[in-house]
Amino acid sequence: MNGWTNFLGRGLIALLFVPAGIAKFVTPGPFLEHMAAHGVPGFLLPLVGLFEIAAALSILAGLFSRYSAAALGLFCVATAVIFHLNFADHAERTLFLKDLAIAGGLFALATSWPIGRYLDDAAFSERRDATLTGAS
């Protein structure tokens, strides 16, 4: 059951970031306006979109998922600090806390090893076992 629960959790993370990344390509206007209003250069938008899609799919597939989770966690903290510091606005305060909560979950995922069946396990367990036993 842990494996399925873990996969479901990783799928829900991907469900947040993959559509968000795609939206940055399909309807870039609102994102560019929001970025400009906060002094973030618009040329970063395609990179952010690609990053969100690639990192989320990495987490879903379980390939380099720890690194992707850590990177997305840092991204969420940066998003909170850059875009959601207007604490007088209740919605902004909620978005700030939501981004920090997501970052916390991603950091927990990044530091938990192994917590389920990852492709990382299969790809690197032989090398890890060989290193631990001294075999080559």
Q: Which residue has the tokens 């987490």?
A: 59
Structural domain of 120: 2-133
Determine contact, residues 58/71, Cβ cutoff 8 Å: no
Q: Is the pLDDT of residue 19 over 70?
A: yes
Count the alpha carbons within 13 Å of 18 in the hemisphere toward its beta carbon.
Answer: 12
> pTM for this structure?
0.82
Q: What is the pLDDT of residues 97-121, one digit of tens each?
A: 999 999 999 999 998 866 555 555 5
When divided into structural domains, the chain yields a total of 1
Two tokens at 2?
């842990």
Q: What is the pLDDT of residues 50-86, one digit of tens each?
A: 999 999 999 999 888 999 999 999 999 999 999 999 9
SS (H, E, C) the chain: CHHHHHHHHHHHHHHHHHHHHHHHHHCHHHHHHHHHHCCCCHHHHHHHHHHHHHHHHHHHHCCCHHHHHHHHHHHHHHHHHHHCCCCCCHHHHHHHHHHHHHHHHHHHHHHCCCCCCCHHHHHHHHHHHHHHHCCC
Question: What is the model's pLDDT at position 88?
Answer: 96
